[in-house]
Amino acid sequence: SAVISQKPSRDICQRGTSLTIQCQVDSQVTMMFWYRQQPGQSLTLIATANQGSEATYESGFVIDKFPISRPNLTFSTLTVSNMSPEDSSIYLCSFGDTEAFFGQGTRLTVV
């Protein structure tokens, strides 16, 4: 099965700063997805990242806050911008249709 690597695994950031999370897949995939999982909660889709076009954001998430890049079919980044404590969460990338493969997650704490 494909391997998906996500980094950093965790970070503690100051409010007002930005963090970029990277996700690398060992094979080419058409769509990649970014999810947020708040402590003890379910996974919520932030956006779908398509190569060669702008990401598609779900309701409640905007590009200015969560800009996404998808420069090729194996790589994507999610930036959490102008962070506040409410952004403290686990962020996960994934790909796949009949089976979703998830990165290990990035545990973000904003202080």
Chain residues binding another protein by CB under 8 A are 31, 33, 41-45, 48, 92, 95-105
Sorted by sequence, the CB contacts under 8 Å of residue 35 that are 6+ apart come out as 43, 44, 45, 46, 91, 92, 93, 94, 102
Sorted by sequence, the CB contacts under 8 Å of residue 18 that are 6+ apart come out as 79, 80, 81, 82, 83
CB of 82 to another protein, least distance (A): 26
CB of 16 to another protein, least distance (A): 28
In the complex with another protein, which residue's Cβ is closer, 19 or 103?
Answer: 103
CB of 48 to another protein, least distance (A): 6
In the complex with another protein, which residue's Cβ is closer, 86 or 97?
Answer: 97
